[in-house]
Amino acid sequence: MLAEKLGPVMDLFKTKVSSLIGVDISSSSIKLVELADAGKGAFRLERYAIEPLPKDVVADGNIANLDQVSDALKRAWKRLGSRHRGVALALPAAMVITKKIIVPSGQKEEELELMVEAEANQYIPFALDEVNLDFQILGPAPNNPDEVEVLIAASRKEKVEDRVAIAEAAGLKPRVMDVESYATQEAFKLIAPSLPANGRDQNIALLDIGAHVTHFYVLRNNQFLFSRDQAFGGNQLTHDIQRSFNLSPEEAESAKKNQGLPENYDADVLQPFMETLALEVTRALQFFFTSTSYSQVDQVILAGGCALLPGLDELVAKRAGVPTLVANPFASMTASERIRPRQLAQDAPLLLVACGLALRSFE
């Protein structure tokens, strides 16, 4: 693989790596998930942990303070209580350039590497020695059985190296570097069985509502039709609480999580925020309709920290006119006795990326 030449941690498509912990580093927290093989294609949730991050140490996927993030990762791993140290990490999709190419089938790996390098030179706006590069053969080309489709992925080395340094400083061993959108796609496979007809031949909109950004995807038969990021997230609710009740950012965040707010909070702050969020969902759907040949979405799935706001799923369903549910990739899994079901139900929508990364342990 090119990853062996250009950096062993850029194994975006490496498979069958045993006992990996999925590590999702977002702008507000670090999420860890460890899965086990339960047999017959099923999985068991062994353990998970969520560790909050200090404000602004991660912004737009860029890590501003490696030491603080590494310390948080170390605390999260200690809380996780796992004996495994191998981890799968991910880069935001905006930091990774991907491209599909068609090449003649039957190529030797060395020949394929040269073709990928030549192709990469044409579309990557950096010198190849400044990037980590990897590729995967996806399968036969759609229109010619004598050709194969190859996916190329490339990212600036420093983006990869920052995450590797954080893991290593926390005493962990980075084995795989993935892309957040691909990890979400993997986790969606666990959600699909809970949809009517397993979601088959349907357009499924998935919104992962982060602190600052909402990632909007539309999938059909587990393939991306559309993706878009919207600059709107849970931090807007924190700002609204600050402004309405004259609180500091820390006080507002704490009050939001612990429900320690005045009686008028629901009517004056929470409901208007939820209406705005529902409007953002309908706006994202309109972008999808105007940017593609599709005019319908069959299901909306909400993930991220805001997904469990009371009544949000019903409000989105009403405003968008589409059945809506809250994401839970663990719904069909067994879980170890150490996991509290009620707490997991609250945390599951936050764990899509970490769960998808943990799935890299299995094929």
The model's pTM: 0.91
Residue numbers of the domain that contains 263: 194-329
The DSSP-derived string for 54-74 is: -TTSEETTEES-HHHHHHHHH
How many structural domains is the chain composed of? 3
- Both 215 and 108 in one domain: the answer is no
* Res. 20: pLDDT tops 60: yes
* Res. 13: pLDDT tops 80: no
- Both 118 and 68 in one domain: the answer is no
Say if 356 falls within a structural domain.
Answer: yes
Give the per-residue pLDDT at 14.
52
- Both 289 and 325 in one domain: the answer is yes
- Number of Cβ within 10 Å of residue 249's Cβ equals 13
Say if 228 falls within a structural domain.
Answer: yes
Give the per-residue pLDDT at 18.
62
- Both 31 and 129 in one domain: the answer is no
CATH number at residue 64: 3.30.420.40
Q: Where does the pLDDT of residue 100 fall: very low under 50, low under 70, confident under 90, or very high at 90 and above?
A: confident
Average pLDDT over residues 36-41: 90
- % the chain with pLDDT above 90: 72
- pLDDT per position as a tens digit, 218-245: 999 999 999 999 999 999 999 999 999 9
Say if 334 falls within a structural domain.
Answer: no
Structure tokens at 154: 């490339």
- Both 241 and 214 in one domain: the answer is yes
- Both 148 and 233 in one domain: the answer is no
* Res. 171: pLDDT tops 90: yes
- Both 180 and 147 in one domain: the answer is no
Structure tokens at 51: 């560790």
Say if 337 falls within a structural domain.
Answer: no
Say if 341 falls within a structural domain.
Answer: no
Question: What distance in Å separates the CA atoms of residue 191 and residue 132, rounded to the nearest whole number?
Answer: 31
- Both 317 and 198 in one domain: the answer is yes
- Both 179 and 53 in one domain: the answer is yes
- Both 28 and 174 in one domain: the answer is yes
The helix (run of H) or strand (run of E) holding residue 334 is strand 334-335
- pLDDT per position as a tens digit, 123-132: 888 888 899 9
Say if 238 falls within a structural domain.
Answer: yes
* Res. 314: pLDDT tops 60: yes
- pLDDT per position as a tens digit, 180-207: 999 999 999 999 999 999 999 999 999 9
Mean pLDDT score of the chain, rounded to an integer? Answer: 91
Residue that has been written with the tokens 């409007």 in this structure: 279
Say if 338 falls within a structural domain.
Answer: no
Question: What distance in Å separates the CA atoms of residue 363 and residue 185, rounded to the nearest whole number?
Answer: 15
- Both 172 and 26 in one domain: the answer is yes
Q: Where does the pLDDT of residue 19 fall: very low under 50, low under 70, confident under 90, or very high at 90 and above?
A: confident
CA angle 101, 132, 16 (to 5 degrees): 80
Average pLDDT over residues 301-324: 96
- Both 138 and 267 in one domain: the answer is no
The DSSP-derived string for 14-69 is: ----SSPEEEEE-SSEEEEEEEEEEETTEEEEEEEEEEE--TTSEETTEES-HHHH
* Res. 2: pLDDT tops 60: no
The DSSP-derived string for 128-160 is: GGGEEEEEEEEEEETTEEEEEEEEEEEEEHHHH
Give the per-residue pLDDT at 11.
54
